[in-house]
Amino acid sequence: MSYSVKEIFFTLQGEGANTGRAAVFCRFTGCNLWTGREQDRNDAICRFCDTDFVGTNGVGGGRFADAGTLAGRVRAAWGDRGDGDRLVVLTGGEPLLQADVELVGALHQQGFGVAIETNGTIPAPDGIDWICVSPKAGTEIVQRRGDELKLVFPQEGISPVACEEWNFRHFFLQPMDGPRRRENTEEAARFCMQRPQWRLSLQTHKIVGFP
């Protein structure tokens, strides 16, 4: 299988349970909830995405003929930072439109732990080391187990309480960005205080100016 990737870059994870951890981000093109084009946003299932996942013209991006070639590019992005505790985050868009067991195996051969950030509408393949699901209102969530549930909050049509019986190790509320970010953050913090199963996740990469 070939893979279309928007960008591959080294940074710190900015959200959720792995906040502050060094990682290579591999951002795939395409999503099943929005085309990525602004003219289609109002008609999309997910209307609040803040990520450019269209095309293959980002840093390190391109079309990769096979899993080994893509895994090699991810390894190159890690550079000479040491062999221990390597992490790659497969993201998008929706990475599970492309990420498969062959790619997971190739990344493991390069010494990486493999994390994925998905909207949960496609089952994750075997072998992924860290599954983060960020559900969106109006979709059928089929991936209801994993390591981390990260719910952008508030979303009309999906309540955190309705997700509390899903099988995840960590539950995070992440305030929706935009003009009401401060109010959303305060509301999310109050909710976490009322229902301690949930923890507050902030987009720290935006605070410190990382990609």
Query: Are the C-beta atoms of 1 and 106 separated by less than 8 Å?
Result: no
SS3 content of the chain, % helix, strand, coil (to 5): 25, 30, 45
| pTM for the model | 0.95
What does the longest C-alpha to C-alpha distance in the chain come to?
Answer: 49
Which residues, 6+ apart, have CB-to-CB distance to 76 below 8 Å?
A: none
User: Cα-flanking dihedrals φ and ψ of residue 200, to 5°?
Assistant: -85, 130
Q: What is the pLDDT at residue 82? A: 81
What mean pLDDT is predicted for residues 114-143?
Answer: 97
User: Cα-flanking dihedrals φ and ψ of residue 66, to 5°?
Assistant: -155, 170
* Reported confidence tier of residue 21, pLDDT bands at 50, 70, 90: very high
* Reported confidence tier of residue 100, pLDDT bands at 50, 70, 90: very high
Q: What's the CA gap between 58 and 36, in Å, rounded?
A: 14
**Sequence-ordered strand ranges (E) for 29-182:** 62-64, 86-91, 112-118, 130-133, 145-153, 167-175
CATH code of residue 61: 3.20.20.70
Residue 137 tokens read as: 């209102």
Q: What's the CA gap between 12 and 9, in Å, rounded?
A: 10
Q: What is the pLDDT at residue 211? A: 75
* Reported confidence tier of residue 209, pLDDT bands at 50, 70, 90: confident
Residue 58 CA: distances (Å) to CA of 29, 36, 71, 113: 10, 14, 17, 23
| Domain of residue 89, residue span | 3-208
Q: What is the pLDDT at residue 178? A: 85
Domain count of the chain? Answer: 1
In three-state secondary structure terms, 76 is helix
Residue 174 CA: distances (Å) to CA of 20, 22, 48, 123, 147: 16, 20, 13, 23, 16
Write the single-letter amino acid at 60. Answer: G
Q: What's the CA gap between 26 and 121, in Å, rounded?
A: 19
Known catalytic residues are 25, 31, 46, 49-51, 117, 205
